[in-house]
Structures are given as C-alpha cells and as structure tokens.
C-alpha cells in the first residue's frame, strides 16, 4: 500500500514522498497534499496532466510521455527520474514510479504511484562526480608526464631512471584506482574520506610531489625547506591529494615565474606544512570560508571553469580526519600561505 505522505530519510536528510493517481479514461491527475507540495502546486486539486508536463524540459517531456504510454500499452510499471522547473523557479529532481490499477474485470482504469524528491541525492552525486574528476586531473597529468619522460629516455637508449618513473606512474595509477573505487562505493561525498593509515616519511612524499609539480608547471619556480625526517601515520594517497591541491592552487593563483615554497617544521608533536606563494593572496575575511564546499573567490580567472571550489573543502576534510588542522592566511609580504598540520609519529607508533 502506498502511504499518503511519508517522510523518508536519504543520507540523514529528510525528504518527502507523495502519491498520485492518473485516470486512464479522463487523463486527469490527482495528487495527495504532499505531492502537490513537492511540485509547489496548489493543494488537493484534480488537474490535467499538462500542469506537470509544463514543468519538464520539452525533450524530456516527450520521452516521459512515450514511456508512460508504453507502460500502459505493455501493462507494465512506470519509473522515471525527471528534472523539473517549478512555477517558483526552483529546479528539482523527481523520481516517479507508478503501477496500473485494474478494474474487477481486468482492464486497467488508472495508474497510481509515488513521487519522490531526489534533488539532494542528485546534488550529492554530481558533487561526488565533480570531486572525482577534479582529483583525477593531476595524477593523470603526472602519469602522462612520466610516460613522456620514459619515451624520451628510450629514444636516447638511456635506461637508467626508467624504473623510478614507472614506479611513480604506478603509484598515481593506484591513487586513481582508489579514488574511483571510493566513488563507486559511496556515490556521495558524505563518506568520501576513508583513511588507510600507514607510517611513512612525509619529507619523501613532499619532495617527490614537488618534483612532479615542477615538471608539470615549468611556469613557476619551486623550493622546499624540510626536516630530514617527518614520520607520520597517515593515508599517503590522501596527504598526496592535500599537497596536490595546495600546490596546484599556488600555481593557479600566482603570476608566471614566481616562487612557490613548501616548508615544514615539527613542533609539539605536530608537523606544520606550509605552501607559500607570491600571488593574489587569500581574499580578506575569507580565511575560513575558503575551505567551505563550493567557495570560489571573485578572482578565479586563472583557474579552469571546471573548478568548483571543492579542492580546499576536501583538504579540510582529509586533514581533520587525520587529527590535524588547516589554515589560510596572507603571506608576510604578498601572496598566500596555506598550512596543514598532522600528528607526527615515532618509529613504530603515534605520539
């Protein structure tokens, strides 16, 4: 039996479903108050189907009508997800499901069904997809670069260095595989950050990523100032994501030929890693907001239009999950300083 109006939970957020009936003889639609509310229509009115169709993009509308008619002809159930534009100008996603109701003598007289607002789910899925495509860009470029370097070495019959380049490419392939797997598992960003902790020397990770970023962005100069050993117990791929986001942003938001500096120091059981650039600087007053989902400053002309203000949001999620903190501030003279901290560990365990 279909509930009149039932609140349901999707990822902890309350959504509403409602029910509807279409008479196959009169083609009139009636909806429960919940369904009318979802569609932002006046309550309890029996209405023509056109009032729903008008909310749907014309191309999708014809598909919906075709599939609806087909379901009736084949005596099958009907199911479709549609994007609608309500009369109040709201874009929403609806999941519509229906089954035929039969008269006593066996012919169908109406279709009855449920309408469910899946807007939140759609937003989360598209955000999740944006995150994956955002995060895949850098490892893909690095793999390509490593492959080009291998090709260059082979052309000169120089084999020394090839195993290292292939090893790096392999590391990034594993990283990409992990990201894609996570996306498949979660299909939403809520649980996006899973951590697989191992103990490693963060200095080596920083040095190798700076070397790769240096090759990618010959437009900039890079320098590092790091302690010999920074032992952390962390998820190597996730920390790589953090470094990549900070470094690629430093390049995107600073002028050609300027210096990007990565420093690290250990204090009070934490390592403090900072990326300094000589660019436009963090927008005044936005030091915290900058780490929020979808935040984009007013001056993002140098970044790609595919950027959606997700990089720093992810950075914060990752670092917080590791027990560290993030910070963005203006550089001493100019540019920005983006910092993250992580608890350091002794050989064999955490502090």
How near is the Cβ of 248 to ligand ADP at its closest, in Å?
A: 8
Which residue in 27, 185, 194, 296 binds ligand ADP (CB under 6 A)? 296
**CB closest to ligand ADP, residue no:** 297
Residue appearing with tokens 């005596």: 75
CA separation (Å) from 115 to 88, 100, 101? 19, 15, 17
- Compute how many residues bind ligand ADP; rule: CB under 6 A: 23
296 by DSSP, 3-state: which? coil
Q: Is 339 in the site for ligand ADP (CB under 6 A)?
A: no
The DSSP letter of residue 194 is -
Tokens of 48: 């023509």
User: Which residues, numbered 194-223, are part of the site for ligand ADP (CB under 6 A)?
Assistant: none
How near is the Cβ of 178 to ligand ADP at its closest, in Å?
A: 20
259 by DSSP, 3-state: which? strand
Spell out the residues 6+ positions from residue 206 whose beta carbon is closer than 8 angstroms to its own: 224, 226, 230, 243, 262, 264, 273
Euclidean distance between CA atoms 95 and 346, whole angstroms: 53
Residue appearing with tokens 């056109």: 50
How near is the Cβ of 144 to ligand ADP at its closest, in Å?
A: 20
Q: Is 295 in the site for ligand ADP (CB under 6 A)?
A: yes
User: Which residues, numbered 52-71, are part of the site for ligand ADP (CB under 6 A)?
Assistant: none
Which residue in 119, 307, 320, 350 binds ligand ADP (CB under 6 A)? 307
How near is the Cβ of 263 to ligand ADP at its closest, in Å?
A: 15
How near is the Cβ of 259 to ligand ADP at its closest, in Å?
A: 13
Residue appearing with tokens 């040095």: 207
17 by DSSP, 3-state: which? strand
DSSP for 60-110 reads HHHHHHHHHHHHHHTT--EEEEEEEE-TTS-EEEEEEEEEEEE-TTS-EEE
Q: Is 310 in the site for ligand ADP (CB under 6 A)?
A: yes
Which of 10, 300 has the CB closer to ligand ADP?
300
Binding mask 263-282 for ligand ADP (x = CB under 6 A): --------------x-xxxx
Which of 149, 242 has the CB closer to ligand ADP?
242
How near is the Cβ of 329 to ligand ADP at its closest, in Å?
A: 11
Point out which residues bind ligand ADP (CB under 6 A). 245, 249-250, 253, 277, 279-282, 290, 295-297, 300, 303, 307-313, 336
């Amino acid at each position: 039996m279909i509930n009149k109006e039932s609140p349901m939970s999707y990822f902890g957020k309350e959504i509403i479903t409602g029910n509807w009936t279409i008479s196959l003889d009169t083609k009139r639609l009636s909806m429960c108050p919940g369904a009318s509310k979802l569609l932002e229509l006046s309550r309890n009115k029996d209405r023509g189907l056109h009032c729903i169709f008008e909310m749907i993009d014309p191309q999708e509308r014809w598909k919906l009508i075709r599939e609806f008619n087909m379901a009736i002809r084949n005596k099958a159930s009907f199911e479709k997800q549609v994007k609608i534009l309500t009369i109040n100008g709201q874009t929403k996603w609806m999941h519509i499901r229906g089954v035929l109701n039969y008269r006593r003598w066996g012919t169908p007289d109406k279709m009855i069904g449920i309408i469910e607002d899946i807007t939140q789910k759609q937003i989360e899925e598209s955000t999740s997809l944006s995150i994956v495509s955002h995060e895949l860009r850098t490892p893909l470029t690095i793999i390509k670069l490593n492959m080009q370097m291998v090709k260059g070495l082979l052309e000169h019959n120089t084999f020394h260095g090839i195993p290292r380049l292939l090893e790096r490419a392999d590391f990034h392939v594993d990283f990409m595989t992990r990201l894609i797997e996570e996306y498949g598992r979660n299909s939403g960003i809520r649980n996006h950050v899973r951590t697989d902790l191992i103990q490693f020397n963060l200095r080596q990770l920083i040095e190798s990523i700076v070397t790769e970023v240096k090759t990618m962005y010959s437009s900039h100069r890079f320098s590092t100032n790091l302690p010999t050993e920074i032992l952390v117990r962390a998820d190597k791929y996730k920390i790589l994501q953090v470094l990549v986001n900070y470094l690629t942003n430093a390049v995107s938001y600073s002028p050609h030929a300027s210096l990007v500096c990565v420093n690290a120091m250990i204090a009070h059981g934490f390592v403090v890693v900072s990326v300094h650039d000589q660019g436009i600087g963090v927008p005044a007053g936005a030091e915290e907001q900058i780490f929020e989902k979808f935040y984009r400053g007013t001056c993002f002309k140098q970044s790609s239009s595919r950027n959606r203000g997700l990089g720093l949001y992810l950075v914060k999620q990752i670092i917080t999950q590791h027990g560290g903190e993030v910070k963005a501030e203006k550089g001493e003279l100019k540019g920005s300083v983006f910092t993250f901290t992580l608890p350091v560990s002794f050989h064999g365990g955490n502090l």
